[in-house]
Amino acid sequence: MIDFHNHLLAGVDDGASTLEQSRDAVRDMHQHGVRTVVVTPHLLGSLTERPEALAETLDFIDQAFDGFSRMVAEELPDVRIHRGVELMLDSPAVDLTDPRLRLAGTNFVLVEFPGMTVPPHSVQALYQLRVRGWWPIVAHPERYHNLDDLDLLEEWRSVGALLQCNAGSFVGRFGSKAEASAWELLARGWVDYLSSDYHARGRLPIEPCRAAFADAGGRDQFEQLTAANPGRMLEGEEPLPVPPLARRRSLWQRLRRGRA
Ligand SMILES: [Fe+2]
């Protein structure tokens, strides 16, 4: 498995605070089958308009990445690591020239909109990235508070944006609305990737998510979303379409939800 959305670098954002937490988190991932990790600390896109501030922030992340690299090389030598960021699109003029802003130096970039709110210009913002040669991968689209009509995501996709859902969303870690949206996107065949967005705290969501996919008859989709398509991304290739998968709930789950 490949995880390309997580907050495992120590002391750079709201994820791991210490190298010990980073180590525990990456060990946990390793136990769950992850062999490639792209770390993605939060970064404001508007920083790219202030070269000195950007350089300072990236230097700070470089140092955290060096410590993380050494720790992983010593403790888990079969885990490959790369760097990226989760870039907040808080500016229309984001400059992605520095390869450290992209996922493992590819043309793919992990992006999110501010405040977990889809702005009015979302399609245009994604289009602008695409026409400049970048592939925007929108992080956790299922989590946006104001996204009541998922049809908007078809417009994102039509301008070349790709979608990454969080593993925890499929098992209710982000509430029932995000859970329903994640499954609906999967049923429409619109999800391109699945990652943990793990903040090095609490239970890693990979195993429950894998089980939920298996219950729905979606082992192949899980593999494609967590291994094949992220592997293509690291090679600079577009993802392959993921066959739509409808959710199946057990009788017990339906009874609990009062829908049986
Ligand atoms: Fe994140």
pLDDT in tens, 81-110: 999 999 999 998 899 999 999 999 999 999
Domain count, the chain: 1
CATH code of the domain in which 126 resides: 3.20.20.140
SS3 track for 89-138: CCCCCCCCCCHHHCHHHCCEEEEECHHHCCCCCHHHHHHHHHHCCCEEEE
Ligand 1 centroid distance, CA of 191 (Å): 17
Ligand 1 centroid distance, CA of 15 (Å): 9
Span 36-65, mean pLDDT?
Answer: 97
Q: What is the pLDDT of residue 237?
A: 98
Ligand 1 centroid distance, CA of 45 (Å): 14
Q: What is the pLDDT of residue 257?
A: 64
Ligand 1 centroid distance, CA of 245 (Å): 25
Which residues lie closer than 8 Å to 164 by C-beta, 6 or more apart? Answer: 4, 5, 110, 137, 138, 139, 140, 141, 191, 192, 193, 194, 195
Ligand 1 centroid distance, CA of 218 (Å): 25
**Whether the Cβ atoms of residue 76 and residue 26 lie closer than 8 Å to each other:** yes
**Whether the Cβ atoms of residue 181 and residue 187 lie closer than 8 Å to each other:** no
For residues 242 and 224, give the distance between their C-alpha atoms in angstroms, rounded to a whole number: 7
With a threshold of 0.85, does the pTM exceed it? yes
What domain range includes position 173? Answer: 2-256
Ligand 1 centroid distance, CA of 189 (Å): 22
Q: Any idea which of 69-78, 125-134, 141-150, 245-254 has the lowest mean pLDDT?
A: 245-254
Ligand 1 centroid distance, CA of 217 (Å): 28
